[in-house]
A and B are shown apart, each in its own frame.
Chain A
Amino acid sequence: MSAADLLPRFWRSELRLVFGRLRNLAALGVLGAVPVLIAVAVRLSRPEDAQGPAFLSSITDNGLFVSLTAMTAVLPLFLPLAVAVVSGDAIAGESDLGTLRYLLTVPVRRTRLLVVKYATVVTFCFAATLLVGLVGAAVGLALFRAGRVTLLSGTTIGTPAAALRILLIGLYIGVCMAALGAVGLFVSTLTRYPVAAMAATAMLAVTSEVLDAVPQLHAIHPYLLSHWWLAYGDLLRDPMSFLSVGQGLVSAAAYIAVFGTLAWARFGGRDISG
């Protein structure tokens, strides 16, 4: 029995559907190309050009930081876009094809369908984030040395400790994306047009980021979906601070609970005409 056999059969079948789709594979391909581009660009540039985001200069000290730089680069747009596509398609896509009525008459209970769909979206969120992280780590370590790294607070740590912190950051970003996925799942129950659900979800993510960038709106900032996405910087301090990451996790959990419930309430009793 392989590890995959331990997952429920329906979930496995959904994973196969999502990860077998050309569109989703293309999105993962683009995401995986980002760390490669960053690593090659830094490698080819002369050291004196190496200015830019905080972690970029650390790359030459330790290749693992390609991973971190790449995750930071895809966080504002590429990653939310991919999550919006997969989550927006979850219910609306089945509704559009008409396969929803056949799933429900199998029968699949509506709550179970939502749970399996969401589990698949969450799997995609972590897979996409960790793909960027792992490709970054692999390319980084191949092109650069694995020396000691200076953290934001000035202390230096070795490669294993840095790898652990970067893994934690990847998981944190995965949770943030899972919150966006819950919003997308809810939007997906509202329409039978998958493209509309995808676009709406992506726009919600970008709108949240735009509002977060307007200082006059600081009163609502803590409640914005994307406000805590960059809070993982605290995991690069010594000792690690979990304060804002913790708030970010609470925010994500709240979004998942609220939008998961909304999706359930909306989908549970809806007439299925598609």
Chain B
Amino acid sequence: MTRTAAAPDVRRPSTADGDEAVRTSGLSKRFRSGPFRAGQLAVDGLDLVVPRGSVYGFLGPNGSGKTTTIRMLLGLISPTAGGVTLLGRPIPRDAAAVLPRVGALVEGPAFHPQLSGWRNLARLDAADRSADPRTTAARIGAALERVGLTAAAGKRYRAYSLGMRQRLGIAATLLRPRELLVLDEPTNGLDPQGTREVRSLVASLARDGTTVLLSSHLLSEVDQICTHVGVMNAGRLVSQGTLTELRAAAAPRVHVRTTAPGEAAAVLRRAGVTAVTVHSGEVVADLGGHAPEALLRGLVLADVPVREFRVDAADLEDVFVGLTGEGFDVSG
């Protein structure tokens, strides 16, 4: 398969079988919590589809099952039910063949504190049977360069700041060319500048054709770079699709501020507008397929004193809050 470096927003998911970077079917995980209690169902019947070449924003509040799902994708924990296919091969059976092509950052970075950043990466590379030891130094250097850690390469990991640790974790995923990157909350602990850098790094990797599965509890972190979004809530995938599809699901709303809300509501209802509600001097309704100027004209012709008339564009944040029942920024 050849892939052109298309801009992320024009990429379409392919429906051809085996063309997904990640596919799960009915993936479930129940943790045993003790001999007398039934286990907690952390992930419940997940059918995740991450098309190749996409940047998939895996969203959900903390504790919604994102990390448990990612651990199952990588074969770290075994599902209670259902299965995982990674780059077309079943996991965990073919993990040894598939994982060298997958870079992963799972639940924060973890390294040996007494070793330098460079040494830590060298250790991971030494553990990789399929890595070429002759190119280790060059590949480590390039990975550290890409995340901006070249100057701190010889420093002990213990002395790294949280942001530097996170960058080292990302550098570890870049030790080799990867077809799929699984990044679990990669901007945790980064300052706004670092967050922007990670975002542009992910975007540049995606332009090179790498599929990226990016988990986050922050919508703002992913909506600028993602082509696809999956939303988790309480262990279930409550929505999945392209960002455009999700935006379309968010109906624009019309707001009318008036001294005669009852009449305004009646006019709107007569025009066929749905979901009309009245709160203290303001009428709110779904715009649907109506032209806003026609609605305004109808209101004025019916002698409704309109003080303000506005249409709110689709707000993704509202969609997510609606899907998950809470804001994404719960952890602050």
| A residues with CB within 8 A of B | 9-10, 12-13, 17, 20-22, 97-99, 101-109, 269, 271-273
Query: A10, A102, A271: which has the most chain B beta carbons within 10 Å?
Result: A102
B123 touches A17 (CB 8 A): yes
B96 touches A109 (CB 8 A): yes
B128 touches A106 (CB 8 A): yes
A271 touches B110 (CB 8 A): no
Task: Collect the chain B residues with CB atoms within 8 Å of residue A13's CB.
Answer: 122-123, 126-127
What's the minimum C-beta distance from B122 to chain A, rounded to whole angstroms? Answer: 7
Contact among A99, A103, A107 with B100 in the assembled complex (CB-CB below 8 Å): A107
Query: B96, B110, B113, B133: which has the most chain A beta carbons within 10 Å?
Result: B110
Contact among B78, B95, B99, B126 with A269 in the assembled complex (CB-CB below 8 Å): B78
Bound-state CA distance A3–B191 (Å) is: 47
Mark out the residues of chain B between 58 and 113 whose CB falls within 8 Å of any chain A CB in the assembled complex.
71, 74-78, 95-96, 99-100, 102, 104, 106-108, 110-113
Task: Collect the chain B residues with CB atoms within 8 Å of residue A99's CB.
Answer: 110-112
A106 touches B124 (CB 8 A): yes
A105 touches B76 (CB 8 A): yes
Bound-state CA distance A6–B99 (Å) is: 26
Q: Does B259 reach chain A (CB closer than 8 Å)?
A: no
B124 touches A102 (CB 8 A): yes
With contacts A22-B114, A98-B107, A98-B110 known, is A106 near B77, CB below 8 A? no
Bound-state CA distance A117–B120 (Å) is: 17
Bound-state CA distance A104–B111 (Å) is: 13
Contact among A21, A106, A271 with B99 in the assembled complex (CB-CB below 8 Å): A106
B127 touches A103 (CB 8 A): yes
B110 touches A12 (CB 8 A): no
Bound-state CA distance A154–B115 (Å) is: 54
Task: Collect the chain B residues with CB atoms within 8 Å of residue A9's CB.
Answer: 126, 133
| B residues with CB within 8 A of A | 71, 74-78, 95-96, 99-100, 102, 104, 106-108, 110-115, 122-124, 126-129, 133, 172
B102 touches A106 (CB 8 A): no
What's the minimum C-beta distance from B132 to chain A, rounded to whole angstroms? Answer: 11
B106 touches A101 (CB 8 A): yes
B126 touches A104 (CB 8 A): no
Task: Collect the chain A residues with CB atoms within 8 Å of residue B133's CB.
Answer: 9
Bound-state CA distance A13–B75 (Å) is: 24
The residue in chain A whose Cβ has the minimal distance to the Cβ of B99 is A107
Q: Which 5 A-B pairs have the closest CB atoms?
A: A98-B110, A13-B126, A107-B99, A271-B77, A272-B76
What's the minimum C-beta distance from B327 to chain A, rounded to whole angstroms? Answer: 28
Task: Collect the chain B residues with CB atoms within 8 Å of residue A12's CB.
Answer: 126
Q: 29 A-B residue contacts at CB 8 Å?
A: A10-B126, A10-B129, A13-B123, A17-B123, A20-B115, A21-B114, A22-B114, A97-B110, A97-B111, A97-B113, A98-B108, A99-B112, A101-B74, A102-B104, A102-B111, A103-B127, A104-B75, A105-B74, A105-B75, A105-B76, A105-B104, A106-B99, A106-B124, A106-B128, A107-B75, A107-B95, A108-B128, A269-B78, A271-B76
Bound-state CA distance A269–B79 (Å) is: 11
Query: A13, A20, A109: which has the most chain B beta carbons within 10 Å?
Result: A13
Task: Collect the chain A residues with CB atoms within 8 Å of residue B102's CB.
Answer: 105
The residue in chain B whose Cβ has the minimal distance to the Cβ of A108 is B127
What's the minimum C-beta distance from B22 to chain A, rounded to whole angstroms? Answer: 14
What's the minimum C-beta distance from A94 to chain B, rounded to whole angstroms? Answer: 9
Task: Collect the chain A residues with CB atoms within 8 Å of residue B110's CB.
Answer: 97-99, 101-102
B71 touches A10 (CB 8 A): no
Bound-state CA distance A12–B78 (Å) is: 31
Known interface pairs A97-B110, A106-B127; 16 further A-B residue pairs with C-beta atoms within 8 A, sorted by A's residue number: A9-B126, A10-B126, A10-B127, A17-B115, A17-B123, A21-B114, A101-B74, A102-B104, A103-B124, A104-B75, A106-B100, A106-B128, A108-B129, A271-B78, A272-B71, A272-B77
The residue in chain A whose Cβ has the minimal distance to the Cβ of B172 is A102
What's the minimum C-beta distance from A65 to chain B, rounded to whole angstroms? Answer: 38
The residue in chain B whose Cβ has the minimal distance to the Cβ of A96 is B110
Task: Collect the chain A residues with CB atoms within 8 Å of residue B126's CB.
Answer: 9-10, 12-13
What's the minimum C-beta distance from A195 to chain B, rounded to whole angstroms? Answer: 16
Bound-state CA distance A102–B76 (Å) is: 10
What's the minimum C-beta distance from A260 to chain B, rounded to whole angstroms? Answer: 20
What's the minimum C-beta distance from A90 to chain B, rounded to whole angstroms? Answer: 14
Task: Collect the chain B residues with CB atoms within 8 Å of residue A98's CB.
Answer: 107-108, 110
Bound-state CA distance A22–B156 (Å) is: 14
The residue in chain B whose Cβ has the minimal distance to the Cβ of A93 is B112
The residue in chain A whose Cβ has the minimal distance to the Cβ of B106 is A101
Bound-state CA distance A12–B124 (Å) is: 12
Task: Collect the chain A residues with CB atoms within 8 Å of residue B129's CB.
Answer: 10, 108
The residue in chain B whose Cβ has the minimal distance to the Cβ of A116 is B127
The residue in chain A whose Cβ has the minimal distance to the Cβ of B124 is A106
What's the minimum C-beta distance from B163 to chain A, rounded to whole angstroms? Answer: 17
What's the minimum C-beta distance from A95 to chain B, rounded to whole angstroms? Answer: 10
What's the minimum C-beta distance from A27 to chain B, rounded to whole angstroms? Answer: 15
Task: Collect the chain B residues with CB atoms within 8 Å of residue A105's CB.
Answer: 74-76, 99, 102, 104, 106
The residue in chain A whose Cβ has the minimal distance to the Cβ of B133 is A9
What's the minimum C-beta distance from B298 to chain A, rounded to whole angstroms? Answer: 60
Bound-state CA distance A13–B123 (Å) is: 6
Task: Collect the chain B residues with CB atoms within 8 Å of residue A102's CB.
Answer: 104, 106, 110-111, 124, 172
Bound-state CA distance A9–B124 (Å) is: 11
